[in-house]
Amino acid sequence: MGQSYSSKKKKLQLIKKQRIKNQKIDDQLFAKTNTKNNKKELSVLLLGTGESGKSTFLKQMMIINKGGFTHSDCETYKKTIQTNLILHMGALFKSCLKNNYEIQPKTKDLGHEFLKLVNISHDYTLEKVGFVKKLWQDSGLKMAFKKKLQFQIPDTANYFFDKIDTITDKDYKPTDQDILLCRIPTTGVNQMTFDQNDTLWKIIDVGGQRSERRKWIHQFENVDLLIYIVALSEYDQKLFENLDINRLRESLELFGKISNNNYFDNKNCVLFFNKIDLFEDKIKTVDLKKCFPDYNGGLDFEAGKHFIKQKFIEKSENSKRNIFSHFTCATNTKNIERVIDAMNITVIEYVLKEDGFL
Q: Which of 49, 51, 186, 331 is catalytic?
A: 51
Question: What pLDDT is recorded for position 26?
Answer: 46
Run of H or E residues at 293: none
Tell me if residue 214 is catalytic: no
Q: How many Å apart are CA 336 and CA 240, to the nearest integer?
A: 27
Q: Which of 138, 155, 178, 205 is catalytic?
A: 205
Q: Which of 56, 60, 237, 328 is catalytic?
A: 56
> For residue 294, is pLDDT > 70?
yes
Q: How many Å apart are CA 338 and CA 111, to the nearest integer?
A: 44
Tell me if residue 249 is catalytic: no
pLDDT, mean of residues 304-318: 93
Provide the CATH topology of domain 42-69+186-354. Rossmann fold (3.40.50)
Tell me if residue 51 is catalytic: yes
The domains of the chain are located at 42-69+186-354, 71-173
**Which of the listed ranges 93-97, 240-244, 274-278 does the model predict with the highest average pLDDT?**
274-278
> For residue 20, is pLDDT > 80?
no
Q: Which of 83, 150, 199, 209 is catalytic?
A: 209
Please write the tens of the pLDDT for every residue from 208-263.
Answer: 555 555 655 665 667 888 899 999 999 998 887 777 889 999 999 999 988 887 77
**Which of the listed ranges 14-23, 44-53, 272-281 does the model predict with the highest average pLDDT?**
272-281
Tell me if residue 205 is catalytic: yes
* Dihedrals phi, psi of 351, to nearest 5 degrees: -65, -45
CATH superfamily of 71-173: GI Alpha 1, domain 2-like (1.10.400.10)
Lowest mean pLDDT among 84-98, 110-124, 134-148: 134-148
Please write the tens of the pLDDT for every residue from 62-83.
Answer: 999 888 999 999 999 999 999 9
> For residue 324, is pLDDT > 70?
yes
Q: How many Å apart are CA 50 and CA 292, to the nearest integer?
A: 21
Q: How many Å apart are CA 182 and CA 116, to the nearest integer?
A: 25
Tell me if residue 338 is catalytic: no
For the chain, the first-to-last Cα distance in angstroms comes to: 66
Please report how many Cα atoms fall inside a 13 Å half-sphere around the Cα of residue 230, on the Cβ side: 28
Q: Which of 49, 155, 183, 186 is catalytic?
A: 183
Question: What pLDDT is recorded for position 32?
Answer: 40
Given this chain, do its domains 42-69+186-354 and 71-173 carry the same CATH topology? Answer: no
* Counts for the chain of helices (H) and strands (E), in that order: 14, 6
